[in-house]
Amino acid sequence: MIKRELGNSQAMTAERSTRDKAAWTRLDLADADIRLCAKYVSQAEAHRLIDLIYQKTRWQQDKVRLFGRVHLIPRLHQWYADPGLSYRWSGLRLQPESWFDELSTLRDRIANAIDVPLNSVLVNLYRDGQDCMGWHADDEPELGEQPVIASLSLGAERDFLLRRSGKSGASPKRNIRLTDGSLLVMAGDTQRFWQHALPRRRRITEPRINLTFRRVLPVGCA
């Protein structure tokens, strides 16, 4: 029994190593460094992860003020990070939850795959196609001049839109389908020149969990 379990563990480790070396597709966009690995984790592992993260996360839904009115953010979220870090976005100051074992293991695995030290993750739960993310860039000072964002998608397939910053509706949009188990990495000057969004899709009834791993600079270094 022990030998069989050991053999299964070794096989899983070998499978993960093969997947982490999977081919990346680089998007042909000016002033951007964006790569996509469509099957970073297998479907079975994606299903295991989405159930585990859903159960272990203390989800919250904050409010933001837009154009003088207060709105609920159209998704649930939680922020995990190393002790002592702080992160501000959309007028919210986030204080970190402590890593749980499976999440820190996933962080280290992705950090090794992209060769970037990661110390935080914003976890978003899109309960169905009504939940969404508006146009924005991840350009907060805490992320440095050239942020690296590693975005793992679990669950329902969703559209991920890109447009040039500062051109709003006049800018041609690029649509990427983020599938279950895919890993999207944005680096270089991407956040300086491009915005991204996850639009509503009413036909989608299944949930999606998105984990955006990043490196947040300590207070005083941003």
Question: What domain count does the chain have?
Answer: 1
- Is 92 within 8 Å of 64 (Cβ atoms)? yes
pLDDT of residue 221: 59
Residue carrying structure tokens 């050991």: 6
Kindly state whether residue 208 falls inside one of the protein's structural domains: yes
Nearest to 166 by CA among 195, 187, 190: 195
Residues in the chain: 222
Kindly state whether residue 15 falls inside one of the protein's structural domains: no
Under-50 pLDDT residues of the chain: 1-15, 17-19
Quick one: CA dihedral 4, 9, 13, 19, positive or negative?
Answer: positive
pLDDT of residue 69: 81
Nearest to 120 by CA among 216, 38, 186, 26: 216
pLDDT of residue 25: 96
Contacts of 33 by beta carbon, 8 Å cutoff, 6+ apart: 26, 186, 187, 188, 189, 190
Kindly state whether residue 4 falls inside one of the protein's structural domains: no
Kindly state whether residue 13 falls inside one of the protein's structural domains: no
pLDDT of residue 23: 87
Kindly state whether residue 220 falls inside one of the protein's structural domains: no
This prediction has a pTM of 0.87
pLDDT of residue 20: 52
pLDDT of residue 10: 47
List, in sequence order, the alpha helices (H) in the chain: 2-20, 43-56, 101-114, 190-193
Kindly state whether residue 148 falls inside one of the protein's structural domains: yes
Q: Name beta bridge partners: 49.
A: none
Residue carrying structure tokens 């944005």: 186
Kindly state whether residue 11 falls inside one of the protein's structural domains: no
The pair of structure tokens assigned to 146 is 């050239």
What is the domain range of residue 49? 24-214
pLDDT of residue 167: 63
Nearest to 85 by CA among 76, 101, 98: 98
Q: What CATH number is given to the structural domain containing 45?
A: 2.60.120.590
Contacts of 221 by beta carbon, 8 Å cutoff, 6+ apart: none
Kindly state whether residue 63 falls inside one of the protein's structural domains: yes
